[in-house]
A and B are shown apart, each in its own frame.
Chain A
Amino acid sequence: MIILFLRRAVKDLIKNRFLNAITVITIALSVLIVSAFILFFININDIIDSWKKGIRIMAYLKSDVSPIEPENIEKKIKLMDGVIKTRFISKHDALIQLQTQMKRQSSLFTTLKENPLPDAFEIRMIREAVNNEKIERLAKQIEALPSVDEVEYGQSWVGHYINIIHLFKLTGYALSGLFFIAAIFIVANTIRLVLYSRQEEVEIMRLVGAEDRFIKAPLYIEGIILGALGGIIGMLALYMTFFYISSNMERHLISGFFNIRFFPTEISCGLVLCSTFVGWLGCFLSLRQFLAKNNRI
Protein backbone atom coordinates (compact mmCIF):
# COMPACT_ATOMS: atom_id res chain seq x y z
CA MET A 1 0.00 0.00 0.00
CA ILE A 2 2.87 2.36 0.88
CA ILE A 3 4.42 1.77 -2.56
CA LEU A 4 1.06 2.56 -4.14
CA PHE A 5 0.76 5.77 -2.10
CA LEU A 6 4.34 6.74 -3.01
CA ARG A 7 3.72 6.06 -6.68
CA ARG A 8 0.52 8.10 -6.60
CA ALA A 9 2.25 10.94 -4.76
CA VAL A 10 5.11 11.12 -7.27
CA LYS A 11 2.68 10.88 -10.19
CA ASP A 12 0.56 13.71 -8.77
CA LEU A 13 3.63 15.84 -8.08
CA ILE A 14 4.66 15.54 -11.70
CA LYS A 15 1.14 16.08 -12.95
CA ASN A 16 0.60 19.28 -10.93
CA ARG A 17 4.17 20.44 -11.43
CA PHE A 18 3.40 24.14 -11.81
CA LEU A 19 1.53 24.48 -8.51
CA ASN A 20 4.01 22.19 -6.79
CA ALA A 21 6.96 24.19 -8.12
CA ILE A 22 5.37 27.32 -6.60
CA THR A 23 5.00 25.50 -3.28
CA VAL A 24 8.64 24.36 -3.34
CA ILE A 25 9.84 27.89 -4.18
CA THR A 26 7.68 29.34 -1.38
CA ILE A 27 9.08 26.88 1.14
CA ALA A 28 12.63 27.41 -0.14
CA LEU A 29 12.29 31.20 0.24
CA SER A 30 10.89 30.85 3.76
CA VAL A 31 13.71 28.48 4.73
CA LEU A 32 16.24 30.84 3.17
CA ILE A 33 14.94 33.83 5.13
CA VAL A 34 14.58 32.02 8.47
CA SER A 35 17.95 30.25 8.21
CA ALA A 36 19.69 33.44 7.03
CA PHE A 37 18.45 35.10 10.23
CA ILE A 38 19.64 32.18 12.34
CA LEU A 39 23.02 32.12 10.59
CA PHE A 40 23.42 35.85 11.06
CA PHE A 41 22.71 35.61 14.77
CA ILE A 42 24.96 32.59 15.26
CA ASN A 43 27.82 34.58 13.79
CA ILE A 44 26.95 37.74 15.74
CA ASN A 45 26.90 35.59 18.90
CA ASP A 46 30.36 34.24 18.05
CA ILE A 47 31.68 37.78 17.62
CA ILE A 48 30.11 38.96 20.91
CA ASP A 49 31.53 35.91 22.69
CA SER A 50 35.00 36.61 21.39
CA TRP A 51 34.66 40.24 22.51
CA LYS A 52 33.38 39.17 25.91
CA LYS A 53 36.38 36.89 26.35
CA GLY A 54 38.65 39.83 25.58
CA ILE A 55 37.20 42.11 28.24
CA ARG A 56 39.55 42.61 31.15
CA ILE A 57 40.04 45.31 33.76
CA MET A 58 43.52 46.51 34.53
CA ALA A 59 44.09 48.01 38.00
CA TYR A 60 47.39 49.90 38.32
CA LEU A 61 48.76 50.25 41.84
CA LYS A 62 50.35 53.34 43.36
CA SER A 63 54.15 53.33 43.30
CA ASP A 64 54.49 53.52 47.08
CA VAL A 65 52.59 50.32 48.02
CA SER A 66 54.35 47.93 50.39
CA PRO A 67 55.39 44.50 49.05
CA ILE A 68 52.69 42.72 51.08
CA GLU A 69 49.89 45.09 49.97
CA PRO A 70 49.20 43.42 46.56
CA GLU A 71 48.20 40.21 48.33
CA ASN A 72 45.58 42.09 50.41
CA ILE A 73 44.30 43.93 47.34
CA GLU A 74 43.98 40.66 45.42
CA LYS A 75 41.88 39.15 48.24
CA LYS A 76 39.57 42.19 48.22
CA ILE A 77 39.18 42.16 44.44
CA LYS A 78 38.42 38.43 44.36
CA LEU A 79 35.56 39.01 46.80
CA MET A 80 33.95 41.53 44.47
CA ASP A 81 30.81 40.52 42.52
CA GLY A 82 31.43 39.28 38.97
CA VAL A 83 35.19 38.66 39.32
CA ILE A 84 36.31 35.24 38.11
CA LYS A 85 40.08 35.55 37.97
CA THR A 86 42.83 37.94 38.99
CA ARG A 87 46.50 37.95 38.03
CA PHE A 88 49.16 40.05 39.63
CA ILE A 89 51.62 41.54 37.15
CA SER A 90 54.62 42.99 38.92
CA LYS A 91 56.33 46.06 37.45
CA HIS A 92 59.29 43.82 36.67
CA ASP A 93 57.16 41.29 34.74
CA ALA A 94 55.37 44.13 32.95
CA LEU A 95 58.69 45.54 31.76
CA ILE A 96 59.85 42.16 30.45
CA GLN A 97 56.54 41.76 28.65
CA LEU A 98 56.89 45.22 27.14
CA GLN A 99 60.43 44.51 26.05
CA THR A 100 59.32 41.30 24.37
CA GLN A 101 56.54 43.12 22.58
CA MET A 102 58.88 45.93 21.44
CA LYS A 103 61.89 43.86 20.42
CA ARG A 104 62.68 46.12 17.50
CA GLN A 105 62.85 49.21 19.69
CA SER A 106 65.07 47.59 22.37
CA SER A 107 67.35 50.64 22.42
CA LEU A 108 64.55 52.54 24.17
CA PHE A 109 64.90 50.39 27.26
CA THR A 110 68.69 50.63 27.59
CA THR A 111 68.47 54.31 28.45
CA LEU A 112 65.95 53.75 31.26
CA LYS A 113 67.35 54.44 34.71
CA GLU A 114 64.47 52.88 36.55
CA ASN A 115 61.34 50.87 35.71
CA PRO A 116 58.57 53.43 35.01
CA LEU A 117 55.78 50.83 34.99
CA PRO A 118 53.53 50.28 38.01
CA ASP A 119 52.51 46.95 39.59
CA ALA A 120 49.13 45.90 38.27
CA PHE A 121 46.28 43.42 38.48
CA GLU A 122 44.62 41.89 35.46
CA ILE A 123 40.99 41.12 36.37
CA ARG A 124 38.68 38.86 34.33
CA MET A 125 34.93 38.89 34.79
CA ILE A 126 32.43 36.05 34.61
CA ARG A 127 30.71 36.07 31.22
CA GLU A 128 27.23 36.82 32.59
CA ALA A 129 28.59 39.92 34.34
CA VAL A 130 29.86 41.44 31.12
CA ASN A 131 27.60 44.39 30.54
CA ASN A 132 28.31 48.04 30.63
CA GLU A 133 26.80 48.80 34.05
CA LYS A 134 28.55 45.92 35.80
CA ILE A 135 31.92 46.69 34.25
CA GLU A 136 31.60 50.31 35.33
CA ARG A 137 30.45 49.41 38.84
CA LEU A 138 33.34 46.99 39.31
CA ALA A 139 35.85 49.49 37.96
CA LYS A 140 34.62 52.10 40.46
CA GLN A 141 34.81 49.60 43.34
CA ILE A 142 38.41 48.74 42.44
CA GLU A 143 39.33 52.37 41.93
CA ALA A 144 38.03 53.12 45.45
CA LEU A 145 40.66 50.85 46.98
CA PRO A 146 43.32 53.08 48.64
CA SER A 147 46.35 51.45 46.97
CA VAL A 148 44.88 51.55 43.47
CA ASP A 149 46.02 54.46 41.38
CA GLU A 150 44.13 53.94 38.14
CA VAL A 151 41.67 51.50 36.58
CA GLU A 152 41.43 50.90 32.88
CA TYR A 153 39.20 48.59 30.88
CA GLY A 154 39.81 48.13 27.19
CA GLN A 155 36.91 47.63 24.77
CA SER A 156 34.56 49.37 27.19
CA TRP A 157 32.44 50.23 24.18
CA VAL A 158 31.46 46.59 23.89
CA GLY A 159 29.28 46.96 26.95
CA HIS A 160 27.33 49.74 25.28
CA TYR A 161 26.65 47.62 22.22
CA ILE A 162 25.89 44.36 23.95
CA ASN A 163 22.49 45.62 25.13
CA ILE A 164 21.65 46.85 21.66
CA ILE A 165 22.76 43.54 20.16
CA HIS A 166 20.64 41.66 22.71
CA LEU A 167 17.64 43.69 21.61
CA PHE A 168 18.57 43.06 17.99
CA LYS A 169 18.81 39.34 18.74
CA LEU A 170 15.39 39.26 20.37
CA THR A 171 13.90 41.04 17.35
CA GLY A 172 15.63 38.47 15.14
CA TYR A 173 14.16 35.55 17.08
CA ALA A 174 10.70 37.10 16.91
CA LEU A 175 11.06 37.71 13.16
CA SER A 176 12.31 34.15 12.59
CA GLY A 177 9.31 32.85 14.53
CA LEU A 178 6.96 34.99 12.48
CA PHE A 179 8.54 33.82 9.24
CA PHE A 180 8.19 30.23 10.42
CA ILE A 181 4.47 30.72 11.12
CA ALA A 182 4.05 32.61 7.85
CA ALA A 183 5.79 29.73 6.03
CA ILE A 184 3.30 27.25 7.52
CA PHE A 185 0.32 29.34 6.40
CA ILE A 186 1.76 29.97 2.95
CA VAL A 187 2.43 26.26 2.49
CA ALA A 188 -1.01 25.37 3.87
CA ASN A 189 -2.61 27.78 1.41
CA THR A 190 -0.60 26.55 -1.55
CA ILE A 191 -1.47 22.95 -0.70
CA ARG A 192 -5.09 24.02 -0.34
CA LEU A 193 -4.89 25.40 -3.88
CA VAL A 194 -3.58 22.01 -5.02
CA LEU A 195 -6.47 20.35 -3.19
CA TYR A 196 -9.07 22.63 -4.70
CA SER A 197 -7.66 21.92 -8.13
CA ARG A 198 -8.28 18.26 -7.33
CA GLN A 199 -11.60 18.68 -5.56
CA GLU A 200 -13.48 16.68 -8.19
CA GLU A 201 -10.94 13.88 -7.99
CA VAL A 202 -11.29 13.72 -4.18
CA GLU A 203 -15.09 13.73 -4.55
CA ILE A 204 -14.95 10.86 -7.04
CA MET A 205 -12.58 8.90 -4.82
CA ARG A 206 -15.05 9.22 -1.98
CA LEU A 207 -17.92 8.13 -4.22
CA VAL A 208 -16.12 4.94 -5.20
CA GLY A 209 -15.62 4.07 -1.54
CA ALA A 210 -12.10 5.32 -0.85
CA GLU A 211 -11.36 5.79 2.83
CA ASP A 212 -9.94 9.10 3.99
CA ARG A 213 -6.52 7.57 4.58
CA PHE A 214 -6.42 6.49 0.92
CA ILE A 215 -7.04 10.11 -0.07
CA LYS A 216 -4.83 11.64 2.62
CA ALA A 217 -1.74 9.40 2.53
CA PRO A 218 -0.43 10.40 -0.92
CA LEU A 219 -1.14 14.06 -0.12
CA TYR A 220 0.84 13.81 3.12
CA ILE A 221 3.69 12.18 1.19
CA GLU A 222 3.47 15.03 -1.31
CA GLY A 223 3.58 17.59 1.53
CA ILE A 224 6.64 15.88 3.02
CA ILE A 225 8.41 15.72 -0.35
CA LEU A 226 7.58 19.38 -1.08
CA GLY A 227 8.78 20.43 2.38
CA ALA A 228 12.03 18.46 2.10
CA LEU A 229 12.70 19.72 -1.44
CA GLY A 230 12.01 23.32 -0.38
CA GLY A 231 14.30 22.88 2.63
CA ILE A 232 17.17 21.45 0.57
CA ILE A 233 16.86 24.16 -2.10
CA GLY A 234 16.61 26.89 0.56
CA MET A 235 19.73 25.59 2.35
CA LEU A 236 21.64 25.30 -0.93
CA ALA A 237 20.71 28.88 -1.81
CA LEU A 238 21.84 30.01 1.64
CA TYR A 239 25.10 28.12 1.32
CA MET A 240 25.80 29.68 -2.06
CA THR A 241 25.06 33.17 -0.70
CA PHE A 242 27.24 32.45 2.33
CA PHE A 243 30.05 31.17 0.12
CA TYR A 244 29.85 34.31 -2.02
CA ILE A 245 29.87 36.66 0.98
CA SER A 246 32.62 34.82 2.89
CA SER A 247 34.93 34.65 -0.16
CA ASN A 248 34.31 38.38 -0.72
CA MET A 249 35.21 39.06 2.92
CA GLU A 250 38.44 37.12 2.54
CA ARG A 251 39.30 39.17 -0.50
CA HIS A 252 38.75 42.38 1.45
CA LEU A 253 40.74 41.05 4.41
CA ILE A 254 37.85 41.42 6.85
CA SER A 255 38.12 37.77 7.74
CA GLY A 256 40.89 38.53 10.24
CA PHE A 257 38.40 40.52 12.33
CA PHE A 258 35.33 38.33 11.85
CA ASN A 259 35.66 34.61 11.56
CA ILE A 260 32.27 33.71 10.04
CA ARG A 261 31.06 30.15 9.75
CA PHE A 262 28.20 28.20 8.14
CA PHE A 263 25.82 25.93 10.05
CA PRO A 264 27.21 22.66 11.35
CA THR A 265 25.76 19.63 9.51
CA GLU A 266 23.34 18.86 12.38
CA ILE A 267 21.73 22.31 12.19
CA SER A 268 21.52 22.17 8.38
CA CYS A 269 19.82 18.76 8.63
CA GLY A 270 17.61 20.12 11.43
CA LEU A 271 16.47 23.00 9.24
CA VAL A 272 15.65 20.64 6.35
CA LEU A 273 13.72 18.47 8.83
CA CYS A 274 11.89 21.57 10.08
CA SER A 275 10.95 22.45 6.53
CA THR A 276 9.78 18.87 5.94
CA PHE A 277 7.64 19.25 9.04
CA VAL A 278 6.28 22.55 7.68
CA GLY A 279 5.29 20.69 4.48
CA TRP A 280 3.51 18.04 6.52
CA LEU A 281 1.85 20.56 8.83
CA GLY A 282 0.69 22.72 5.92
CA CYS A 283 -0.80 19.60 4.37
CA PHE A 284 -2.39 18.55 7.66
CA LEU A 285 -4.03 21.95 8.23
CA SER A 286 -5.43 22.31 4.73
CA LEU A 287 -6.54 18.66 4.50
CA ARG A 288 -8.36 18.85 7.80
CA GLN A 289 -10.29 21.90 6.65
CA PHE A 290 -10.80 20.60 3.11
CA LEU A 291 -12.09 17.14 4.08
CA ALA A 292 -14.31 18.56 6.82
CA LYS A 293 -15.88 20.86 4.22
CA ASN A 294 -16.48 17.97 1.84
CA ASN A 295 -17.36 15.51 4.56
CA ARG A 296 -20.58 13.99 3.29
CA ILE A 297 -19.40 13.50 -0.28
Chain B
Amino acid sequence: MHQRIDVKKTMIPIIRMFGVNQYYGRKKALRDINLDIYEGEFIFISGPSGAGKSTLLKLLYLGEAASHGQILVDGVNLSRIVSKRIPFLRRKFGIVFQDYKLISSKTVFDNIALVLEAIGHKRRFIQKKVNSVLRSVGLEERHNAFPLSLSGGEQQKIAVARAIIGDPKIILADEPTGSLDAKSANIIFELLKRFHRRGGTVIVATHDMELIRKNKGRIFYLDKGVI
Protein backbone atom coordinates (compact mmCIF):
# COMPACT_ATOMS: atom_id res chain seq x y z
CA MET B 1 0.00 0.00 0.00
CA HIS B 2 1.52 3.30 -1.04
CA GLN B 3 -0.60 6.37 -0.45
CA ARG B 4 0.41 9.88 -1.47
CA ILE B 5 -1.19 12.67 0.50
CA ASP B 6 0.92 15.81 0.45
CA VAL B 7 4.25 15.86 -1.24
CA LYS B 8 6.25 19.06 -0.78
CA LYS B 9 8.88 18.32 -3.34
CA THR B 10 12.17 19.86 -4.15
CA MET B 11 14.05 18.65 -7.18
CA ILE B 12 16.51 16.33 -5.40
CA PRO B 13 15.40 13.76 -2.86
CA ILE B 14 17.11 14.06 0.55
CA ILE B 15 16.87 10.29 1.01
CA ARG B 16 17.06 7.67 -1.73
CA MET B 17 16.98 3.91 -1.35
CA PHE B 18 17.75 1.57 -4.26
CA GLY B 19 17.15 -2.15 -3.98
CA VAL B 20 17.82 -2.23 -0.26
CA ASN B 21 17.72 -5.62 1.44
CA GLN B 22 18.46 -6.42 5.04
CA TYR B 23 19.16 -9.92 6.33
CA TYR B 24 19.51 -11.26 9.84
CA GLY B 25 21.05 -14.63 9.18
CA ARG B 26 18.59 -16.30 6.82
CA LYS B 27 15.72 -14.03 7.78
CA LYS B 28 15.01 -11.19 5.36
CA ALA B 29 13.90 -8.11 7.35
CA LEU B 30 13.66 -5.81 4.31
CA ARG B 31 13.20 -6.82 0.67
CA ASP B 32 14.08 -4.73 -2.32
CA ILE B 33 13.20 -1.34 -0.85
CA ASN B 34 13.15 1.53 -3.34
CA LEU B 35 12.01 4.95 -2.19
CA ASP B 36 12.69 8.65 -2.49
CA ILE B 37 11.98 11.14 0.29
CA TYR B 38 12.10 14.84 -0.49
CA GLU B 39 13.21 17.66 1.74
CA GLY B 40 10.37 19.09 3.82
CA GLU B 41 8.16 15.99 3.58
CA PHE B 42 6.26 14.44 6.46
CA ILE B 43 6.54 10.68 6.05
CA PHE B 44 4.78 7.88 7.86
CA ILE B 45 6.26 4.41 7.71
CA SER B 46 3.46 2.21 8.81
CA GLY B 47 2.86 -1.49 9.23
CA PRO B 48 2.41 -4.18 11.87
CA SER B 49 5.00 -5.01 14.51
CA GLY B 50 7.98 -6.82 13.00
CA ALA B 51 7.31 -5.43 9.53
CA GLY B 52 10.76 -3.80 9.37
CA LYS B 53 9.90 -0.16 10.24
CA SER B 54 12.62 0.25 12.88
CA THR B 55 15.13 -1.60 10.69
CA LEU B 56 14.46 0.82 7.86
CA LEU B 57 15.10 3.81 10.15
CA LYS B 58 18.27 2.21 11.54
CA LEU B 59 19.66 1.85 8.02
CA LEU B 60 19.30 5.60 7.50
CA TYR B 61 21.42 6.68 10.47
CA LEU B 62 23.74 3.67 10.10
CA GLY B 63 22.61 2.01 13.28
CA GLU B 64 23.01 -0.96 10.97
CA ALA B 65 24.57 -1.27 7.54
CA ALA B 66 22.34 -2.52 4.71
CA SER B 67 23.10 -6.05 3.53
CA HIS B 68 22.44 -5.09 -0.09
CA GLY B 69 21.51 -2.01 -2.04
CA GLN B 70 22.37 1.67 -1.96
CA ILE B 71 21.18 4.40 0.39
CA LEU B 72 21.84 8.09 -0.25
CA VAL B 73 21.26 10.61 2.54
CA ASP B 74 21.65 14.26 1.57
CA GLY B 75 24.03 13.20 -1.20
CA VAL B 76 26.10 10.85 1.00
CA ASN B 77 26.30 7.23 -0.15
CA LEU B 78 26.08 5.20 3.05
CA SER B 79 27.72 2.12 1.59
CA ARG B 80 30.86 4.14 0.89
CA ILE B 81 31.02 6.24 4.03
CA VAL B 82 34.16 5.90 6.15
CA SER B 83 33.58 5.34 9.88
CA LYS B 84 35.08 8.73 10.76
CA ARG B 85 32.28 10.45 8.81
CA ILE B 86 29.44 8.54 10.53
CA PRO B 87 29.11 11.11 13.38
CA PHE B 88 28.71 13.86 10.77
CA LEU B 89 26.03 11.84 8.97
CA ARG B 90 24.18 11.39 12.28
CA ARG B 91 24.20 15.14 12.88
CA LYS B 92 21.87 15.46 9.87
CA PHE B 93 19.31 13.52 11.94
CA GLY B 94 17.47 14.07 15.14
CA ILE B 95 16.34 10.72 16.45
CA VAL B 96 13.37 10.06 18.74
CA PHE B 97 12.86 6.59 20.19
CA GLN B 98 9.86 4.96 21.78
CA ASP B 99 11.95 4.28 24.93
CA TYR B 100 13.26 7.90 24.86
CA LYS B 101 16.92 6.82 25.26
CA LEU B 102 17.77 9.56 27.74
CA ILE B 103 20.84 9.24 29.94
CA SER B 104 19.40 8.61 33.37
CA SER B 105 22.48 9.89 35.21
CA LYS B 106 22.36 13.28 33.46
CA THR B 107 19.95 16.10 34.12
CA VAL B 108 17.39 17.21 31.53
CA PHE B 109 19.64 20.15 30.67
CA ASP B 110 22.74 17.94 30.25
CA ASN B 111 20.87 15.40 28.13
CA ILE B 112 19.93 18.09 25.63
CA ALA B 113 23.23 19.98 25.89
CA LEU B 114 25.11 16.78 24.99
CA VAL B 115 24.22 17.21 21.30
CA LEU B 116 25.70 20.70 21.13
CA GLU B 117 28.72 19.73 23.24
CA ALA B 118 29.43 16.89 20.81
CA ILE B 119 29.41 19.37 17.93
CA GLY B 120 31.81 21.61 19.87
CA HIS B 121 29.64 24.65 20.66
CA LYS B 122 30.64 27.09 23.38
CA ARG B 123 29.14 26.85 26.87
CA ARG B 124 27.33 30.20 26.65
CA PHE B 125 25.69 29.32 23.33
CA ILE B 126 24.68 25.90 24.67
CA GLN B 127 23.11 27.47 27.76
CA LYS B 128 21.08 29.89 25.68
CA LYS B 129 19.94 27.38 23.09
CA VAL B 130 19.02 24.62 25.55
CA ASN B 131 16.94 27.05 27.59
CA SER B 132 15.18 28.25 24.46
CA VAL B 133 14.41 24.68 23.30
CA LEU B 134 13.24 23.72 26.78
CA ARG B 135 10.93 26.74 26.72
CA SER B 136 9.54 25.66 23.33
CA VAL B 137 8.63 22.20 24.71
CA GLY B 138 7.27 23.73 27.91
CA LEU B 139 9.76 22.16 30.32
CA GLU B 140 11.97 25.11 31.20
CA GLU B 141 11.48 24.65 34.94
CA ARG B 142 12.49 21.00 34.83
CA HIS B 143 15.99 21.61 33.48
CA ASN B 144 17.64 20.32 36.67
CA ALA B 145 15.45 17.23 36.99
CA PHE B 146 16.67 13.74 36.16
CA PRO B 147 14.79 11.84 33.43
CA LEU B 148 13.47 9.13 35.72
CA SER B 149 11.68 11.72 37.83
CA LEU B 150 9.63 12.83 34.79
CA SER B 151 6.47 11.34 33.30
CA GLY B 152 6.62 9.41 30.01
CA GLY B 153 5.21 12.37 28.10
CA GLU B 154 7.75 14.73 29.64
CA GLN B 155 10.62 12.36 28.86
CA GLN B 156 9.50 12.13 25.25
CA LYS B 157 9.32 15.93 25.07
CA ILE B 158 12.95 16.00 26.25
CA ALA B 159 13.81 13.43 23.59
CA VAL B 160 12.19 15.64 20.93
CA ALA B 161 14.01 18.68 22.33
CA ARG B 162 17.28 16.75 22.07
CA ALA B 163 16.40 15.73 18.51
CA ILE B 164 15.73 19.28 17.30
CA ILE B 165 18.42 21.22 19.17
CA GLY B 166 21.19 20.45 16.70
CA ASP B 167 19.10 21.90 13.83
CA PRO B 168 18.99 18.60 11.92
CA LYS B 169 17.62 18.28 8.41
CA ILE B 170 15.64 15.17 9.21
CA ILE B 171 13.87 13.85 12.28
CA LEU B 172 13.52 10.11 12.57
CA ALA B 173 10.91 9.10 15.11
CA ASP B 174 10.54 5.41 15.92
CA GLU B 175 7.11 4.86 17.52
CA PRO B 176 7.39 8.23 19.29
CA THR B 177 3.97 7.99 20.86
CA GLY B 178 3.92 4.23 21.39
CA SER B 179 4.05 4.36 25.17
CA LEU B 180 2.16 7.62 25.71
CA ASP B 181 -1.44 8.49 26.50
CA ALA B 182 -3.50 10.29 23.82
CA LYS B 183 -2.92 13.77 25.27
CA SER B 184 0.84 13.38 25.52
CA ALA B 185 0.93 11.78 22.06
CA ASN B 186 -0.81 14.83 20.60
CA ILE B 187 1.67 17.20 22.26
CA ILE B 188 4.62 15.21 20.87
CA PHE B 189 3.07 15.19 17.43
CA GLU B 190 2.52 18.93 17.59
CA LEU B 191 6.25 19.37 18.30
CA LEU B 192 7.13 17.23 15.27
CA LYS B 193 4.70 19.16 13.10
CA ARG B 194 6.21 22.43 14.28
CA PHE B 195 9.64 21.20 13.12
CA HIS B 196 8.08 20.18 9.80
CA ARG B 197 6.42 23.57 9.34
CA ARG B 198 9.86 25.18 9.61
CA GLY B 199 10.96 23.15 6.58
CA GLY B 200 12.36 20.07 8.27
CA THR B 201 11.82 16.53 7.01
CA VAL B 202 10.07 14.18 9.44
CA ILE B 203 9.97 10.40 9.14
CA VAL B 204 7.76 8.66 11.67
CA ALA B 205 7.62 4.90 12.03
CA THR B 206 4.32 3.94 13.66
CA HIS B 207 1.71 1.20 13.66
CA ASP B 208 -0.91 3.63 15.04
CA MET B 209 -3.32 4.11 12.11
CA GLU B 210 -5.45 6.51 14.09
CA LEU B 211 -2.47 8.85 14.44
CA ILE B 212 -1.78 8.62 10.70
CA ARG B 213 -5.43 9.37 9.85
CA LYS B 214 -5.37 12.47 12.06
CA ASN B 215 -2.22 13.89 10.47
CA LYS B 216 -1.20 14.72 6.97
CA GLY B 217 1.75 13.00 5.40
CA ARG B 218 2.96 10.55 2.77
CA ILE B 219 2.60 6.95 3.88
CA PHE B 220 4.79 3.94 3.14
CA TYR B 221 3.15 0.75 4.28
CA LEU B 222 5.58 -2.01 5.17
CA ASP B 223 4.53 -5.62 5.49
CA LYS B 224 7.00 -8.47 6.01
CA GLY B 225 9.80 -6.21 4.85
CA VAL B 226 8.15 -5.19 1.59
CA ILE B 227 6.77 -1.74 0.71
Residues of A in contact with B (beta carbons under 8 Å apart) = 1, 4, 15, 200-201, 203-212, 214, 295-297
Contact = CB atoms under 8 A, between A and B. Distances in A.
A1 B121 CA distance: 9
A18 to B, nearest CB: 13
A209 B90 contact: yes
Contacts of B83: 295
B101 A209 contact: no
A25 B42 CA distance: 55
The 7 closest A-B pairs by CB, nearest first: A210-B118, A209-B91, A209-B90, A211-B87, A208-B115, A209-B87, A201-B103
B105 A15 contact: yes
Contact of B162 (A208, A210, A211): A208
Given A4-B123, A15-B105, A200-B103, A211 B95 contact: no
A204 B93 CA distance: 13
B36 interface: no
- Indicate the size class of the contact surface on chain B: 20 to 34
Contact of B63 (A4, A212, A297): A297
A116 B91 CA distance: 101
A214 B118 contact: yes
B208 interface: no
Nearest to B117: A4
Contacts of B88: 209
B47 interface: no
- Most chain A beta-carbon contacts within 10 A, residue among B62, B64, B91, B105: B105
Interface string B67-87: 000000000000000011001
21 contacts: A15-B105, A201-B103, A201-B105, A201-B106, A204-B114, A207-B61, A207-B90, A207-B95, A207-B101, A208-B90, A208-B114, A208-B115, A208-B162, A209-B89, A209-B91, A209-B93, A209-B115, A211-B87, A214-B117, A295-B83, A297-B63
A210 B162 CA distance: 13
Nearest to B94: A208
A195 B115 CA distance: 20
B62 A205 contact: no
A296 B63 contact: yes
B65 interface: yes
Contact of B62 (A1, A4, A296): A296
Given A4-B123, A201-B103, A201-B105, A209 B118 contact: yes
B150 interface: no
Interface of B: 61-65, 83-84, 87-91, 93, 95, 101-103, 105-106, 114-115, 117-120, 123, 162, 166
A203 B103 CA distance: 10
B102 to A, nearest CB: 8
A83 to B, nearest CB: 68
A5 B158 CA distance: 24
- For A15, A209, A295, A296, the residue with the greatest tally of chain B CB atoms inside 10 Å of its CB is A209
Which of A203, A204, A214 is most buried by chain B, counting CB atoms within 10 A of its CB?
Answer: A204
A208 B161 CA distance: 12
B105 A206 contact: no
Contacts of A212: 87
Contact of B64 (A201, A204, A209, A296): A296
Nearest to A201: B103
Contacts of B65: 296
Nearest to A203: B101
A92 B4 CA distance: 124
Nearest to A210: B118
A204 B118 contact: no
B163 to A, nearest CB: 9
Contacts of A297: 63
B83 to A, nearest CB: 7
A206 B90 contact: yes
Nearest to A297: B63
A4 B64 CA distance: 30
A291 to B, nearest CB: 10
A209 B162 CA distance: 12
A206 B87 contact: yes
Contact of B166 (A203, A205, A209): A209
**Which residue among A1, A200, A201, A208 has the maximum number of chain B CB atoms within 10 Å of its CB?**
A208
A207 B58 CA distance: 10
Contacts of B64: 296
